[in-house]
Amino acid sequence: MQVVIEQIINGLTIGSFYALIALGYSMVYGILKLINFAHGDFFTLGSYVGYTVLVFASAALTAYFGIWGMIAIAMLVAAISVALVGLIVERMAYRPIYASGRLPAVVSALGASIVIQNSIMIIWGPRYQAYPAALIPNIPLQILGFNISLLQLLILVMSFILMLSLYYVIQKTTFGAAIRATALDRDTAALMGINFNKVILFIFILGPALGAITGVMVGMYYRQISFTMGWNYGLKAFTATILGGIGNLPGAMLGGLILGTLEMLGGAYISSAWKDVFVFLILILVLIFRPTGILGEKIAEKV
């Protein structure tokens, strides 16, 4: 039992990565009905930016701000720079295409993904990069008798705070209501005086920023990053989005956590080599039996 629960904690850690990335997918899909294939690469980019800050500015930053301050700064720099890239991508690759329909947007998103991925490769090189070791002291903690590392705890707490604040913004604020309204019916929302461009601006700042912060956390957790990793995380995060109900933000968070846990348990107790296969099987089964996801509502097609 002890081991199972520890596996679940590991699963929740990965799950919170998926959940944070999934939020970015879900927001963009909710508003634009576009699968933003570049989102996984925003995550990678964030990871690399964080890596650069931590490796090259560590001495100076640690001296002034201490180790926690340095990590916070790395995350902040990653979030801001990737948000900027997100805005540029939206402006250059998506905005000119909204009017042309869904399929050109899919190709353009794939193109954007290729561009970002290869830019990362050109800037940082094609090899794996390693995050500095022991950034956060690897203190094993005992909570209620279960082993959990300090880093894990930190990741879980931080993801929880991030998700909660996003949830608050979306569900409780006026601007959040505007976003939800736009997701439901863009034209009517526009008639109610909601500025569509502002909504887009918001989702293309927040989504990539969340992705970037996740990237830094993944870097610290696994220590090894590669320029192609965004694709795998992206696809899993999207599976999480589907699992929770596409366009539904609480669903995306829940989906991420469930997916991470299932993946970890499947890997531990069935077969670790086939664990990614489980993930995609889950994706397919959900789409067959409950295409609206766990929290999604059924929408009948109007004839």
Partner 1 sequence: MNDEIKNRLNTLGGRRFWLSLVLIGFAVYPFLMSDYFIDVAFFFGIYALLGLSLNVVLGEVGLFDLGHAGFYAIGAYTTAILNTTLGIPVLMLLPLSAFTAGFFAYLVCSPIIHLKGDYFLLVTIGMGEIVRLALLNNPFGITGGPNGVFGIDYPSLGFMDIDTSLKFYFFIWIVVGLCILGLMSLQHSRVGRAWNCIREDEIAAEANGIDVRSFKLLAFVIGAALAGVAGNIYASKLMIVSPESFSFMESCMMFSIVLIGGMGSVPGVLIGAAAISLFPEIFRPMAQYRMLFFGAAMILMMIFRPGGIWPRKRGAIQKGQALKGIKKPLLPGELPGA
Residues lying near partner 1 in the complex (CB under 8 A): 29, 33, 35, 92-93, 96-97, 100-108, 110-115, 117-119, 121-122, 231, 235, 238-239, 242, 246, 273-274, 276-277, 280-281, 283-284, 287-288, 291, 301, 303
CB atoms within 10 A of CB 228: 14
- Residue number with CB closer to partner 1 (114 or 150): 114
Separation CA 250–CA 167 (nearest Å):
7
Shortest distance in whole angstroms from residue 105 CB to partner 1: 7
- Residue number with CB closer to partner 1 (32 or 71): 32
CB atoms within 10 A of CB 124: 18
Shortest distance in whole angstroms from residue 232 CB to partner 1: 9
- Residue number with CB closer to partner 1 (55 or 92): 92
- Residue number with CB closer to partner 1 (13 or 239): 239
- Residue number with CB closer to partner 1 (133 or 273): 273
Q: Which residues contact 125 (CB under 8 A, 6 or more apart)?
A: none
CB 45 within 8 A of CB 85: yes
Shortest distance in whole angstroms from residue 269 CB to partner 1: 17
Which of 257, 264, 261 shows the shortest CA–CA distance to 17? 257
The single-letter code of the amino acid at 149 is S
- Residue number with CB closer to partner 1 (41 or 152): 41
Separation CA 88–CA 129 (nearest Å):
26
Separation CA 264–CA 9 (nearest Å):
9
Q: In whole angstroms, how large is the CA radius of gyration of the chain?
A: 19
Shortest distance in whole angstroms from residue 288 CB to partner 1: 5
**Is residue 75 helix, strand or coil?**
helix
Shortest distance in whole angstroms from residue 276 CB to partner 1: 5
Shortest distance in whole angstroms from residue 239 CB to partner 1: 7
